[in-house]
Structure 1
Amino acid sequence: MPIEKLHTDLTGTLKGKTWPTGRPRVGFVHCLQAPPKKGLGRELVQWAKSEGVSPHWVSDPGGAYLWLPTTQQGAHVGGGNPYGVGYEVTGYAEWDRSTWLAQGMDGLRWQAYCMAVDSERWGLQLEWGSLAELARAVPKFYTHNDSRLVFKGTTHYDPSTGYPYDVVMKMANEWRYGAGVKVPNPTPQAPIGSGSGGAEPATWWQRAAASYGSLADAIVEAVRAA
């Protein structure tokens, strides 16, 4: 059975490019460096336009939002942009595993949903790939940090060590295939970052917040502008 479409379509605000090969070849998982707030995925889409960035999917505790059609190349992962779809989720690279599981699970479930949707549509294997596989664009899922190491053009290492890779991939497989599926390679090559307080380079979300004094104020301004 095809996966039921449960996300909110916000396409039309952002503009992408044509994929060099006519389609995405891999998926890149990110974290948003923003609090787990319902509706944030909707509220920040205008910031993406003003900053010239365009992840495809953004997930928060309230749902999943499609910002850019996956038929178009986005701008979210430096040198890896021509290869893959971007999946953002609320939460922080500084979080350790226990914090992700305590505060981030609702958003992660929606991120896993997005991964499952594109696995079904584009034939991406629901498992974590290696750096060697990313260099060959094997159709699996990777991280922003993986793209930094393989394709360059970015300094970000999210989602870092605390991100629960095994849990997310298990949920993605369950979205597509149902409960009880065995997940191959549930944990990827060792990511970098402390996962417990290490600072991620400033993102456009943080810069937007700084311009208004706080992320909350930035969100208010984004809502007013919508």
Structure 2
Amino acid sequence: MAPARPLVLASTSSYRRALLQRLGLDFQTAAPGIDESPFPNEAPEAMVARLAAAKAADVARDHPAALVIGSDQCAAVNGRILGKPGSHERASEQLAALSGRRVVFYTGLCLIDSAGNRQWLETVPYAVEMRSLASEEIERYLRVDRPYDCAGSFRSEGLGIALFRRMEGEDPTALIGLPLIRLCDWLREAGLPIPPDAPSGRSAG
């Protein structure tokens, strides 16, 4: 059974799409058209909350009857934001710099219900403590996972787990980019049954 309300994920990320599919809800995806540049001296947790809300609001304008999910994530060490490496060389440098250090992932999550004039917004942190990494180990890992589009230069849902000493947080899905525990709470408040009456696991768009 399809949900009573249309559900739209304001993202084209394959990672977020796969996470949302786990809930068994029908949903669409739409690409937000916003400037994602950080503000000067903006704290990581404030930036991701602002961008998550902006993404959801941008897509909600074209889907006024829908529940719209926006999310944004960054990784930070001692408050310094880590970008996506984009190349093997930069990923190798980034992992070497993170060796033995604690990385905090901040995920901004927003749900907009335009029809009900409601908005939920929160930043969900999740921390990873990295092992001490030898250069040969870093090279072997990068050849396998190729995490060049991932902040921090690793895929936690892939072989990246082998680089960790420990993980710390309330919701492991926040590490991948869409905190499902918090999202499920909000969707229930918005009137969607979770788990759904008849999970379909389908998505469109």
TM-score relative to the length of structure 2: 0.30
TM-score relative to the length of structure 1: 0.28
Normalized per residue, the structure richer in helix is 1
> RCO (CA 8 Å, sep 6+): is it higher in 1 or 2?
2
